[in-house]
Amino acid sequence: MEFDLTGRTAFVTGATSGLGRHFAKILSASGAAVALAGRRSDRLEAVKREIESAGGRAAAINLDVTDAAEIAPALDKAEAALGPIDILVNNAGLSVFGLAADISASDFDKVIATNLRAPFLLATEVARRLVAKKREGRIINIASIGSFRVLPGVTAYCVSKAGLAMMTQCLAREWARKGINVNALCPGFIETELNAEWFASDKGKAQIEGFARKRLAKESDLDGMFLLLASAASRTITGSLLTVDDGQSL
């Protein structure tokens, strides 16, 4: 199994924190140049410095993924700095908590725009560039176990991730003969800075007790599957929805 990404260029959305930051760092550690996309300039620069201090190459790209007009210019900037993009990681995402009847139309639209519309626009733009250059590529959509099971209180999120899973398979089928592999990684609940407060609460602890292994997964638990999808080792893997959830959905 060869996970060496030397000579490859990756574009990672939501790279300022959490899984996006983690994915960017392991891509770099495996040899890829990494374009870090996000809205918080200070955090982008901090991640860029981390990667460069470890000997990697990175570029900070300011991008609001919900603004369609920003996508092509952001990719242009990334390619000017690092070279043609081979790997796209659609990681940026958000959720709105609450009962479905209490969620506003604007909040629902915001979740869909970030979690589903943006990955579609990024994937199609990257694919156009790969096809024009006759290059193979890897597109990794970060979905969720919420793609195929109900997670109470986050209906909009589950709807968006279910759509992302189907989009993954549709694009994989459409681009199969172009050498562009499209797959989705479906994590379970992972401890990050965004959910640390919840899982430290009594209700959060009770939720963990309901998991098959009574624990949260770690960001690093995704590394093997993620690098498989990003590398040449996944040559015959496309259109797959790969669950890595420590048995939480059982």
pLDDT digit of tens for each residue in the chain (250 aa)? 579 999 999 999 999 999 999 999 999 999 999 999 999 999 999 999 999 999 999 999 999 999 999 999 999 999 999 999 999 999 999 999 999 999 999 999 999 999 999 999 999 999 999 999 999 999 999 999 999 999 999 999 999 999 999 999 999 999 999 999 999 999 999 988 777 888 999 999 999 999 999 999 999 999 999 999 999 999 999 999 999 999 999 8
Decide if 210 is inside a domain. Answer: no
Query: Residue 51 carries which side chain, given as an amino acid letter?
Result: I
Show the beta-strand stretches assigned E in 134-207.
137-142, 180-187
Residue 129 CB burial class (10 angstroms; 0-12, 13-18, ≥19): middle
Q: Is residue 208 part of a domain?
A: no
Distance CA 153, CA 160 (A): 14
186: helix, strand or coil = strand
Cα–Cα dist 196/186, whole Å: 20
CA–CA dist 182, 123 (Å, integer):
9
According to the model, what pLDDT value does residue 98 have?
94
In a domain, residue 201? The reply is: no
Residue 63 sits in a domain whose CATH number is: 3.40.50.720
Question: What does the alpha-carbon distance between residue 92 and residue 106 come to, in Å, rounded to a whole number?
Answer: 18
User: Is 98 a domain residue?
Assistant: yes
Would residue 209 show up in a list of annotated catalytic residues for this protein? no
What pLDDT is stored for residue 7 in this prediction? Answer: 96
pLDDT of residue 1: 53
> Which backbone phi and psi does 243 adopt, to 5 degrees?
-85, 130
Helix (H) or strand (E) holding 155: helix 155-174
* Distance from C-alpha of 119 to C-alpha of 4, rounded to nearest angstrom: 25
162 φψ region: left (φ > 0), alpha (ψ -120 to 50), beta (else):
alpha
Quote the tokens at residue 108: 């629902």
Question: Which range of residues forms the domain containing residue 16?
Answer: 9-192+223-239
- Structural domain count, the chain: 1
> In the block, which residue shows the tokens 């199994």?
1
Structural domain includes residue 233: yes
Does residue 34 belong to any structural domain of this protein?
yes
Give the SS3 label for residue 235: coil
- Please check whether residue 188 is in contact with residue 13, taking contact to mean a CB–CB distance below 8 angstroms: no
Residue 145 DSSP code:
G
Is 218 domain-assigned?
no
* pTM listed for this prediction: 0.96
Query: Could you give the CA distance from residue 221 to residue 48 in angstroms, rounded to a whole number?
Result: 23
Q: Which of 3, 11, 23, 157 is flagged as catalytic?
A: 157
Burial per residue of 157-188, b for 16 or more beta-carbon CB atoms within 10 angstroms, e otherwise: bbbbbbbbbebbbebbeebeeeebbbbbbbbb
- Rounded to whole angstroms, the Cα distance separating 82 from 58 reads 8
Residue 203 in any domain: the answer is: no
Cα gap 137→10, rounded to integer Å: 10
